[in-house]
Amino acid sequence: MAEPASLQPTRDPRVTLPDLVEVLLNKGVYLNLDLIITVADIPLIGVNLRATLAGMETMLEYGMMRQWDEKTRASVRRSIARQVPLLPDEDVVARMPGGVYADDFHHSWRPGTVYLTDRRLFVFRREPAELLWQAPWEHIRTAGLHSERAVGGEQRQRLRVELVDGTYHLLSTADPERLLNLVRRHLRGVGGPPGAGAIAASAAPLRESHAWYQERRAGSAVWRGGTARLDRRTGLTWRSPLDGRPAVNLTPRDITGVELRPARTPAGDSVVMAVATRDDTVLLAPDDATEWAALIRETVPEGAPRHELTEVQVGAHR
Amino acid sequence: MTAPDLYVYAILPAGLAADALGTGIDGAPLRLVDVPEGVAAVVHETTSGPYQGPDEDAKRWILEHSAVVERAWDITGTALPMTFNVLVRAGDEGTATETLRGWLRDSAVQLRGRLDALRDRVELRVDITLDRDRAAQDEPEVRALAAELDGKPAGVRRLLTKRLEKLQRDAVDAVADRVYPEYRRRLVGLAEDISEGRRGGRAEGQVPVLSAALLVHRDRVQELGAELARIQDEQPAAQIRFLGPWPPYSFSELRAPGASTA
């Protein structure tokens, strides 16, 4: 069959205007906010109206800190550190009044300030000073909103934070949705579009967890963070919250084999799964690749070519 | 008189003559603020604050802004575009130019690194959608229901049409889920970076598959176009928008040193 003619990109403004407007309002260098905004509101560059109109506190609430330059961050860090014990070089991204539900012998809401930093999410009470609750980002599996009846009888939204150990914790704040967005942005990088896609929510999966996926790009291979999911019926998927749809979507029939291999991922030296299909090999690195691989083998139908389901011995320590 | 602010269009490698850039928004004369460290900013002076006004004006300003960025980028081969409405304000410590110079000096290493990394790279936008009616027409369930519609009373037809649309949507969504991983893999194999879209599915009757900005070496634009042509060929229900080449608007963000690309 003849090769179709190559598509030519267009720069015609009549076609591209909506995209240009979007990109110039939302993308490009945010140096503006970088240059800017010293705490004493002096040289104000980057007149993103939202930023100019908002006071320092509001900007913190909106989580704008990470867009600021080092000097500004250092000064904010100093001013916050006077009130809150921060780790060395820890940056507060956002803070807002709130509280945490103490599920120990207290069984009550403990008021304080919710801090979102580049390292962790925590609730701190200033007087008397006490760290009421904290979780480093890598311990947080997921977060969502949870509606419950408050003491006064009205419905209140809480932030429900689920940790990798399976426990969950409830945080309160005046604007739970904003907190959720900030938390999600941290769990995922930068907030992605809510998902299209039919795969999203089917019945309970066999397994679902954070996993790294290796994407091969021009000149490099990039490990990307996302969620892997294994389901007897729909198969194996992996999706980054930044993507429109799952970048891995293999039905049990597509899978011809699973191998374990040592590899270096952003999590360090790990064992990763090489999932083979007829024409490709997908590299995925969940925390417990061995168990995942065993489960994937179980889901592959009986008729599948078993002999291809090999496992490479991986040294126990390396 | 108030000291003027500087409206900033882009950061460039130093050495360009400002008169090569023409004029800026509303015909404003452009100049370059540069530092010995080898970077420069394209600016115009203003005393009227950020641009505000009706959408029509904003669109024109944005086009004029992007035209300056593109001219500069065409000449120098690399540029870090600023978002619209970025002003450097004169502060207590000096004029806007001094403030900007100070920042350029302080950030020169990072800026030059990013400018070098983006040299000869272009941003291309790819939007792939599936035409709902066309992509669903071969689905057995959709066919059966469509056939059933004929000769039914109007009220029943209305109900069935609703059901048919949902069937079509689900069927095409499943198709989109199936083709997405492959399309992404094929496109990203030609790109050095990708940023997936904030939009998609605008047009009625179109199901979004992939909407992304791709960072591609100039020399590979043709290859990307060829890959898209093959996709179009394999999937007649696909509608493909292919925009660019643009300056790397979606990839100019400065990463903190050591930040991972993940």
Q: What is the ipTM of this complex?
A: 0.85
pLDDT of residue B119: 96
- Per the CB < 8 Å rule, is A244 touching B209? yes
Residues A164/A141, Cβ–Cβ less than 8 Å: yes
Distance CA A203, CA A226 (A): 19
Domain A87-187 class?
mainly beta
Check whether A151 has a pLDDT greater than 50. yes
Closest partner residue to A4 (CB to CB) among B189, B196, B232 is B232
Check whether A30 has a pLDDT greater than 50. no
Least confident segment among A157-171, A173-187, A285-299:
A173-187
| Interval A201-217: pLDDT, tens | 345 688 988 899 999 99
Check whether A54 has a pLDDT greater than 70. no
**What's the pLDDT band for B254 if we cut at 50, 70, 90?**
low
Select, from the ranges A115-129, B5-19, B177-191, the one with the highest average predicted confidence (pLDDT).
B177-191
**What's the pLDDT band for A192 if we cut at 50, 70, 90?**
very low
- As a whole number, mean pLDDT of residues A210-228 equals 92
Do the domains A207-308 and A87-187 match in fold?
Answer: yes
Separation of CA B23 from chain center: 23
Chain A neighbors of B103, CB-CB under 8 A:
31, 35, 45, 69
Closest partner residue to A5 (CB to CB) among B11, B178, B229 is B229
Distance CA B58, CA B66 (A): 12
- Where along chain B do its domains lie? 5-118, 121-133+172-251
- Per the CB < 8 Å rule, is B83 touching A44? no
**What's the pLDDT band for B14 if we cut at 50, 70, 90?**
very high
B99 close to A (CB below 8 A): yes
Least confident segment among A56-65, A106-115, B65-74:
A56-65
Q: Tokens for A251?
A: 């039905």
Instruction: Determine what percent of chain B is predicted with pLDDT higher than 90.
Output: 49
**What's the pLDDT band for A43 if we cut at 50, 70, 90?**
very low
Chain B neighbors of A245, CB-CB under 8 A:
176-177, 180-181, 209-210
CATH no. for A207-308: 2.30.29.30
Please give, rounded to a whole number of angstroms, the shortest distance from the CA of A230 to a CA of chain B: 16
pLDDT of residue B234: 95
At the topology level, CATH places domain B121-133+172-251 in: Alpha-Beta Plaits (3.30.70)
- Where along chain A do its domains lie? 28-82, 87-187, 207-308
Closest partner residue to A10 (CB to CB) among B84, B217, B243 is B243
What are the b/e assignments for B134-167, b being 16+ CB within 10 Å? Answer: ebbeebeebeebbeeeeeeeeeeeeebeeebeeb
Check whether A310 has a pLDDT greater than 80. no
Least confident segment among A78-87, B113-122, B215-224:
A78-87
Check whether A42 has a pLDDT greater than 50. no
Neighbours of A85 (CB within 10 A): 10
Residues A140/A163, Cβ–Cβ less than 8 Å: yes
